[in-house]
Structure formats: structure tokens, C-alpha cells
Amino acid sequence: MGQINKVAILTSGGDAPGMNAAIRAIVIAAQHYQIDVIGYYHGYNGLIENESRLLSLSDVNNIIHRGGTLLKSARCPAMLEIQGLKQAANTLLKEKVDALIVIGGDGSFSGLLALQAYWSGLTIGIPATIDNDLDGTDFTIGFTTAVNTAIEAIDKIRDTANAFDRIFIIELMGRQSGHITFNVGVACAAEQVLSFENVKPEQQKEKLSLLAKDIQSSQSNHHESYLIVMAENLWLGGVTKLVEQLKEYANIDATACILGHIQRGGSPVAKDRILATKMGVAAIQKLMQKKSNIMIAEQDNTITEISLENAVKHTKKVSQGLINAQEDILALTAQNQC
């Protein structure tokens, strides 16, 4: 491939705070190298339907602090089909795009890998997902903001829980990943953290019994409140089912609280703005070096790269040290209350 003249970008999958900061950095870096940037709307759907606009510096002015994404986002089932992949490739060929940068998570990168069978341009992924589950990077764009948002909400829940000596069970996002749940649970001093890393489906009856004992012990020792943070998709029937089971099993009254999509929104914190900016600039620099089929990553506070295949091959695990600290020391247990 010769000189790079036009780069396409899109944001795909679940939105994450900091996506706009990444878009801004890409456009500014591309302008530095006299490269045109075309932005496609609504993820891969915009690529298939050729819904796009040329992005200028004025388009990305004053967006670094905004949540969501200037280019909108969406899931795109059509990218799972050959016809959808061919349509996306045809758009890139028709518009004479030299490289495609996708800002998103593992599903978005899987689409980028599949597209390479029908299009020979350069491809780069920028990891942006609140789940923080992409392997090879210490943090993904949006994770830190999502954690801070959940912490602020749960601190408020703790206030009302203390006022009424109440039990709250709070469900957090993360799909099948416990990064948000464990980090938020530890930061909020939750009495219990329930996630995929410490609760298996076949252990739920046993866990219910242990939770009931812990709560009863806490109440007998006059604790003001009791908070359980739980990962979404963990408990069969969800957080409301766990509330019902505690009532049926041990006559324990608890309140369910699902934080939901507030974890995706809001102004990105400084760490996410800086990470997104560094990754956006690095993406253009890697393209100038004719690098392709890579994900921009941060390891030990240094921007680097890994192959897209390796990025989506394994789900990054929660720090075992954090799990051990919560399970062995920090968790409120009946034994600790004796």
C-alpha cells in the first residue's frame, strides 16, 4: 500500500465514556499528517448503508468532555453474515478508504477481523468498553468512569441504607465480566461481592445460605446497613430473584437496585480522556508505519500494540489479588462477627 490518504472510523457496540475523546484525537492526528477522516454513523450499520460524513477539526472541537459518541453506535447483526461483510467492504472500496479504525469491544473487533476476508485495507482497533474485558491492555476506555459513576451512586445508597438499617442488593453491568463489580464492591466497602469469579451457577444454593447467615449475624451485631454488589447475568432470575429467595429462605427483607445504563453515560473522568487521546494518536501513528490487524493497548502506563486475534482470544480476568482480598479479608462473614 502507498500513501494513506483517507481513514474511516466508527464506534461500535455499547457506548463508553471517552469514545468522543478518541474520535477527537484521531481527527487531530490525521490532520497533522494531512489525512482525511470519514466517520461512519451507527457502527457497522453506517458502513453497510454508507451513512457517513467527512470529519473536520471543527466537528471535534469541544467534545472531549462529552459522554456517548458523536458518531452514534449500534449492534450490527448483518456483520455476522457474508452479505453484510461484502456490503461493508464495497463501501470502503467505493469511498477509496485506505484504513479503518474501529472503537469498541471484542464483538466489534471480531467484525473487524471478519471484514479482512473481503477488504485488504489497514485495520486498527481501539479498546473502548466499560467491561474492561479485552486481553492485552491494562484498561479499556470508559472503565474508570463507569466505576466512578457506580461508586457515587452506591455511596448515596449507603446513606439511605444506614438511615433505615436496610439491606440493599445492587446489580452492576459488565456482561460476563466482574471487573466493574469487584472494583466497585471493594471501593464502596460492600459487605459482599457476588461475581462470576467467586460464584458458580451450581453454588447458588450454598451461597444463598451463607449470605443469609452473614446478614443475620450482621443484624444481631447492630450493623447499620448491609450492601451486596452483584454482577449482571450472574444470578438465575437476577437481583430481584435473590431478594425473593432471601425472604423465602430466611425471612430477610432486602431491596433490589439495578444501576443499569447510568454506568455508560456521563462525562469521562481525566484518566479516560487521557487514555483515549493517547490511543487515538497512536492509532494514526501506527497507520503511518503501515501497521495493521492490531489493537492499541496500554501496558504498565505505556502505549503499545497487540494483534486483534490475541485481543479477542481470551477474556481478561479480574485481578486474583483483588478477589482474594475481598473473599479472605474484606467480606463480612458470620465467622468474622463471632
Residue positions annotated with a catalytic role: 131
Written as one string, the DSSP assignment of 9-68 is: EEE-SS--TTHHHHHHHHHHHHHHTT-EEEEESTTHHHHHHT-EEEE-GGGGTT-TT--S
Measured between alpha carbons, how far is 296 from 88 in angstroms, rounded to an integer?
A: 23
CA distances from 66 to 1, 7, 12, 181, 292 (A): 36, 23, 17, 24, 29
Q: What is the DSSP letter of 326?
A: I
Helices 204-220 and 238-250 cross at an angle (nearest 10°) of 60
Phi, psi for residue 6 in degrees, rounded to 5? -140, 130
**Sign of the CA dihedral running 262, 264, 267, 269:** positive
Side by side, the strands of the sheet bearing 226-231 are 192-194, 226-231, 167-172, 255-258
Decide if 40 contacts 51 (C-beta within 8 A): yes
| Number of neighbouring beta carbons within 10 Å of residue 265 | 14
Q: What is the DSSP letter of 147?
A: H
User: Helix (H, G, I), strand (E, B), or coil: what is residue 112?
Assistant: helix
